[in-house]
Chains A and B, each alone.
Chain A
Amino acid sequence: MKWFLHLAAASIAALYLATGPASAELHVTVDQANLQPMPIAIPDFAAPSSADTVAGQNIAKVIRADLDRSGLFRPLDQKAFIEKIANINVAPQFASWRAINAQALVAGQVQSQPDGRLRVDFRLWDVFGESQMIGQQYFTTPDNWRRIAHIIADAIYERITGEKGYFDTRIVFISESGPALARKKRLAVMDQDGANPIFLTRGDYLVLTPRFNPTAQMIAYMSYIGSKPRVYLFDLESGRQEMLGNFPNMTFSPRFSPDGNKVAMSLESGGNSDIYIMDLRTRAISRLTSDPGIDTSPSFSPDGTQIAFESDRGGSQQIYVMNADGSNQHRISFLAGRNGTPVWSPRGDLIAFTNQGAGFRVGVMKTDGTGARLITNGWEDEGPTWAPNGRVIMFGRTAQGGRGSQIWSIDVSGRNERRVPTPGDASDPAWSPLIQ
């Protein structure tokens, strides 16, 4: 999406000290901006050996796609390039890149090593400043080229925007297939750009609400195995899954604590559900809420001291915040309609949520509930999840009539809404942290 924002603003600028025309001091304040994606040139990575040519093309392609999807960059068409980068250790001819209005240039190189590994170098150049912004080198196995591309895209993103990237991440989601009455729901993971989708379960049982742990190696989710809805853990490394605790009644809506040592979840008992925390090392469980309403969807603040959750204790579903020990429970959502599925931003400044008014919309609010605003406008948008830098939100979207569920992403500002490619229908995405 190409967006263009021209903001008019009042002029507060001139302060002229008349000490004489020749020695005058001139003070200028620029307070209007022309917000546009940054034009960036990313030629195919050079390959001294022709055997690496395809790898060089593929890596550059993934970097271009990552940066383009962020909405903050506009990768330029390679056909316009005047200079061909053959050796990245020689400074480029900046004038030829200025001529095509590239503000930054990524020059990269791919070389297969004698030991079979792939060596990837790149330099990010400031075209108008004629200086190198970063230069890095990576070694990896050739089949890992896609991750290297994401890592380079993250490095470029971080250097230019000042904040961490989110391209070297994965998404766990529910893949849906089959007719409406016999819908098959499978646990699946994929890269954040939709590549490398893997199904983790066969679809014999209904699965819901998958969540990554902080190392992105473990997934907590709810499954109806044996018609018993319970919370399970799935270890991505070993493929093993285990039921979390052995409770007589339903457990659901799990989420890891920021240190990964605990899981907060809901336990149902006699029509009432409350929020509990389980310590994964000792398996000890402690109860946090005890009112007669339905308390669910717990989500930790990034420092682990607070938990946001939803509750209908006040008559309708709303968002509350409490300390991690269950004290000081207070309502924070006052946006018209019902508000639920709170998710604390990894940055800690905002809480994303689902608002149910005329339809379902995803919104964000400050952690004290002020500044609430809806950022999507679909028929049924729900279940937000944050990119690890707290900048982008993914959510599930169902079209009017309930046909086909998809995953979409949007900038927290409400701009740059894009569909995330998935194998078939998909819902309930959860974003991993940056892969370690």
Chain B
Amino acid sequence: MSQSLSLTSASLSPTTARSPRVGVVFAVVLHAAVVAATLFSWRHTLEIADQSPPVIPVDLVTVGDKTNISPTVQQIVKPQDVPAPPPAASPPATPAPPPQAEAAPELAPTPQAKPAPPPQPAAKPAPAPAPTPPKPKTDAFADLLNNLTKPAATPRNARVADRTVKGAGAMNAMTMDLVDALKNQIAQCWSPPVGGPNSEQLRPQFHLQLNRDGTVVGMPQLTAQSAAEAVANPYMRAAADAARRAIMTCQPYKLPPDKYDTWRDITSLDFDPSKAVQ
């Protein structure tokens, strides 16, 4: 019977398995050791106290809200502040047609501005006053450029990217910004249902139209496939509702008005909770 009772305590109430006595004994021994160590080292401590350094009086002064102390830090003149060359380059640009503006930078490094005229003698009077004062500055700027090119050399630890992303056109970078701006704004309001079975696989997809002021036109519409899934699966319906609430709650969206043509129609707005629900 005693065997069976011990079986009970082991299998049914594992809480009794822990014995506090070991801990108590250990604590008592430890306390005794600390007290003993304190007693033995007491004299030594006193000697050290005698040799303590003299007390230094310190006055605490309240600092006023306003002070007339001038800054001791000198303003560092940035190299970028130097470039007066832009004016040097711009004067020829204003009177001359666009092709000449391209030629101007090539001329800048050369110390003599006078060889420039040959292409167009008529423009000569205009650039003439400009070259003289900026002349040294263009040199400085050129030096600066030369210096800048040095660190631009490939660092030793640079590596080639795993893959390169090629834009589909000049608009690509801008579109990426738009996409990031929009998704970051929606993400602030998106709280998808988590903890359900396979909730990371519920990916509702919407069509969306936006007004110029960033508000949503009507209600975001589920794509046909998502709508069908939402009808069949209550988890999907909840996920779709949560996504729709996110879209509606976070409007109006702050997007560049001059690119309205690009973001007016959002062909597909997908919600992917796979990273969010982990």
A203 to B179, CA, bound (A): 66
Does A252 belong to the interface (CB within 8 Å)?
yes
Q: A14-B175, A129-B219 are in contact. Are A163 and B15 (CB under 8 A)?
A: no
Does B172 belong to the interface (CB within 8 Å)?
yes
CB-defined contacts of B184 to chain A, threshold 8 Å? 32
A229 to B5, CA, bound (A): 9
CB distance from A262 to the nearest CB of B (A): 21
CB-defined contacts of A249 to chain B, threshold 8 Å? 4
Q: A34-B187, A249-B4 are in contact. Are A129 and B267 (CB under 8 A)?
A: no
CB distance from A164 to the nearest CB of B (A): 9
B181-215 at interface with A (beta carbon < 8 Å): 182-184, 186-197
Does A417 belong to the interface (CB within 8 Å)?
no
CB distance from B14 to the nearest CB of A (A): 6
Does B112 belong to the interface (CB within 8 Å)?
no
Other-chain residue from A10, A32, A250, A266 in contact with B276 (beta carbon distance below 8 A): A32
Other-chain residue from A126, A271, A413 in contact with B4 (beta carbon distance below 8 A): A271
Does A160 belong to the interface (CB within 8 Å)?
yes
Q: Are B179 and A160 in contact (CB under 8 A)?
A: no
Other-chain residue from A268, A347, A398, A402 in contact with B7 (beta carbon distance below 8 A): A268
B8-29: CB near A (< 8 Å → 1, else 0) gives 1011111101101000000000
Q: Are A29 and B272 in contact (CB under 8 A)?
A: yes
Does B3 belong to the interface (CB within 8 Å)?
yes
Contact stretch, chosen from A15-23, A47-55, A79-87, A319-327: A15-23
A158 to B268, CA, bound (A): 28
Q: Are A22 and B249 in contact (CB under 8 A)?
A: no
Other-chain residue from A34, A35, A270, A380 in contact with B15 (beta carbon distance below 8 A): A380
A31 to B204, CA, bound (A): 12
Q: What is the size, in residues, of chain A's interface with B at 8 Å between Cβ atoms?
A: 71
Taking Cβ atoms with an 8 Å cutoff, the residues of A that contact B are: 7, 9-14, 16-18, 21-22, 24-38, 72, 103, 126, 128-129, 133, 158-163, 208-209, 222, 229, 249-250, 252-253, 266, 268, 270-271, 273, 294, 296-297, 338, 340, 347, 349, 354, 356, 360, 380, 382, 391, 398, 401-402, 411-413
**23 sample A-B contacts, Cβ–Cβ < 8 Å, listed by A number:** A13-B176, A16-B168, A24-B262, A26-B175, A28-B186, A29-B271, A30-B246, A30-B271, A31-B183, A31-B275, A33-B191, A33-B192, A34-B189, A35-B191, A129-B244, A160-B238, A163-B234, A268-B7, A356-B17, A401-B20, A402-B15, A411-B195, A413-B194
Taking Cβ atoms with an 8 Å cutoff, the residues of B that contact A are: 3-4, 7-8, 10-15, 17-18, 20, 167-169, 171-172, 175-176, 178-180, 182-184, 186-197, 219, 233-239, 241, 243-246, 248-249, 261-263, 265-278
Which 10 residue pairs are nearest across A and B when measured between Cβ atoms? A162-B238, A33-B276, A18-B169, A128-B248, A162-B235, A9-B275, A32-B187, A25-B267, A14-B179, A29-B270
* A-B contact sample (17 more), CB < 8 A, given A26-B262, A209-B12: A13-B176, A13-B180, A14-B179, A16-B169, A16-B176, A18-B169, A24-B261, A26-B266, A27-B267, A28-B266, A29-B272, A30-B272, A129-B241, A158-B234, A250-B7, A273-B11, A380-B15
